[in-house]
A = this chain, B = another copy of it.
Amino acid sequence: MSLPETKERILDSAEYLFARKGFHNTSLRAITGRAAVNLAAVNYHFGSKEALLEAVFERRLVPLNKVRRKNLEVVRETARREGRLPGVEESLRAFIEPTLAFRKSGTGAEDFITLVGRAMSDPDDTVRNVFIRHIAPLFYMLFDILREALPELSPDMLFWRLQFAIGAMGHAICMAGKSYSLPEGVTPVSDVESLTAMLLDFVVAGMERA
> Is B123 a contact partner of A164 (Cβ separation < 8 A)?
no
How many identical subunits does the complex contain? 2
Contact with B along A117-155 (1 / 0, CB 8 A): 110111111000000100010001001100000000001
Distance between Cα atoms of A195 and B117 in the complex (Å): 22
Interface residue range, chain A: 35 or more
Given A167-B167, A167-B172, A187-B156 contact (CB < 8 Å): yes
Q: Least Cβ distance of A200 to chain B in Å?
A: 10
| Stretch from A51-59, A65-73, A202-210 forming part of the interface with B | A202-210
CB of A103 within 8 A of chain B? no
CB of A100 within 8 A of chain B? no
Distance between Cα atoms of A170 and B121 in the complex (Å): 9
